[in-house]
Amino acid sequence: MEIHLGIDDTDSRQGMCTTYLASTIVNEVIGDFQRPELVRLNPNIPWKTRGNGALAIRGTTPNYSEFKEEVIDTVNGLREPSSNTGIVFFKKDPRKHREIRLHSQKAIKNTIDPEDAVKLARKHGEIVGFGNKRGVVGALAAAGHTFNDMTLELLAYRERARWGTPRKIDKTMVYKASELHPLIWDTVDWKHKKIVIKPNSPCPVLYGIRGDHEKAIKKAHNTINSEPISHTTIFKTNQGTDEHITPQKIGEAKPMSSSKVVGEVVEPPKTIEGGHVIFKIKDSTGEIDCAAYEPTKKFRNKVRKLIKGDTVVVYGGITKSPPTINIEKFKLKQKKPKTKYVNPTCPSCGRNMKSAGKNQGYRCKKCKTTKPKKIKLELEREIEEGFYEVPPIARRHLAKPLIRMEMGYDQK
């Protein structure tokens, strides 16, 4: 019989990773399952789990109650005791219900009341929750999620005895594997000389390879030398798709959501304490601050090149007080010419002319030549019109890398 399963919130700062739990279910529980789905949810909410990813598993099982029992046993054996795990079970495809699809969209773009999630899940399926059951929100969102755009991630898991110990990966071979770019992406950060595939948490993941091309992902995986791997699983995901982003007016942009807004720079970039770079934009509905925070490193140098009057399209999550867009990428849509007024030069001797007194124009002392006013000079801008993005080391899971736009994955 058909089954659909959603699961979320099994990890803590101490360890575990819900993807590992999903891969264990797919590999060990009785049934025939499709590729598991990793759905990243709203990255802006303060109570999110690490990475804020929920999982869905779909397939068939010969015996629903045995399946359910085995899943609960597996989750019980692996979840972090302090987590607020939620599991939702459906015997029919939950994606058929509009209200569940809307719940998924809302969990990615906005915030959800856990009580509403529990009610909705119970209406169409069954839930098993631990702790405060907050995990039901994500579990239902994953189970009800439909993909407009999708990418893949191969996760390689560590042997259990090594969990929590330093990861051993041959960096040179990761750089070698990264040459498969753009079929895979965010493998290394060339500008900052860092490999990006390795998590920093004490979870069971050794590394993850992201991309749009299954063969290239597997090839990259086969290129990398590392400590022994327990197993690998490829997930279908909404990472790198911008699914969290809502195009809107500045006046509509609300904290704890993510926007794409078009505006004119009204206050030029300034660097504040901590190395963060902030500028202000406006449209007909309001003004908002935009920030390139310190961890975005060299990206800030691009942001610093903006000037008052530039028209930009800014993508990012919104934090509050005062509302600020945490920039994930921006497009310099129309650059304002940068001008400077200088004293005219003498047509006879070429020297700089001096002011001849207030409202008296300019004069060359030597040749006695005169000019009525200063000259407008157009200066070269140090930035071209086009897109700029944060580096892979600072990229949010959901943010679409520019390479995916360039490769035409924009409209899938």
Contacts with Zn ion by CB under 5 A lie at 346, 348-349, 364, 366-367
Instruction: List the beta strands (DSSP E) in 113-183.
Output: 126-129, 151-158
d(CA 151, CA 210): 7
For the bound state, the minimum distance from the C-beta of residue 346 to Zn ion, rounded and expressed in Å, comes to 3
> Could you tell me the smallest distance in angstroms from the CB atom of residue 342 to Zn ion?
16
Question: Is the N-terminal amide bond of 322 cis, ω within 30° of 0?
Answer: yes
Distance separating alpha carbons of residues 183 and 178, to the nearest angstrom: 9
Per the listing, tokens 């860092």 go with: 194
The answer to whether 5 touches 67, Cβ cutoff 8 Å, is no
Count CB atoms within 10 A of the CB of residue 213.
16
Closer residue to Zn ion, CB minimum distance, 16 or 353: 353
Quick one: 342 or 379, whose CB is closer to Zn ion?
342
For residue 21, CA distances in Å to 62, 80, 96, 149, 292 come to 21, 11, 26, 24, 35
In the complex, minimum distance from the CB of residue 343 to Zn ion, in angstroms, rounded to a whole number: 12
Q: Side chain identity at 376, as an amino acid letter?
A: K
User: Least distance (Å) from Zn ion to the CB of residue 340?
Assistant: 22
| Residue 11 in tokens | 């990890």
Adjacent-strand bridge partners of 182 = none
**Tokens 């085995």 sit on residue:** 70
Q: How far is the CB of 288 from Zn ion (least distance, A)?
A: 51
Q: What are phi and psi of 67, to 5 degrees?
A: -60, -50
- Is the Cβ of residue 119 or residue 373 nearer to Zn ion in the bound state? 373
Nearer to Zn ion, 371 or 381 (CB): 371
Nearest to 248 by CA among 236, 262, 230: 262
Q: Which is nearer to Zn ion, 319 or 369 (CB)?
A: 369
Least separation in angstroms between residue 354's CB and Zn ion is 10
| Distance of alpha carbon 148 from alpha carbon 277, whole angstroms | 34
We find the least distance from the C-beta atom of residue 248 to Zn ion, in angstroms, to be 58
What residues pair up with 290 in beta bridges, in sequence order? 279, 325
Choose between 349 and 377: whose C-beta lies nearer to Zn ion.
Answer: 349
Nearest to Zn ion of 34, 348 (CB atom): 348
Helix boundaries (H) for 202-293: 214-223
Q: Which of residues 1 and 349 has its CB atom nearest to Zn ion in the complex?
A: 349
R_g (Cα) of the chain, nearest Å: 27
- For residue 358, the minimal CB distance to Zn ion (Å) is 22
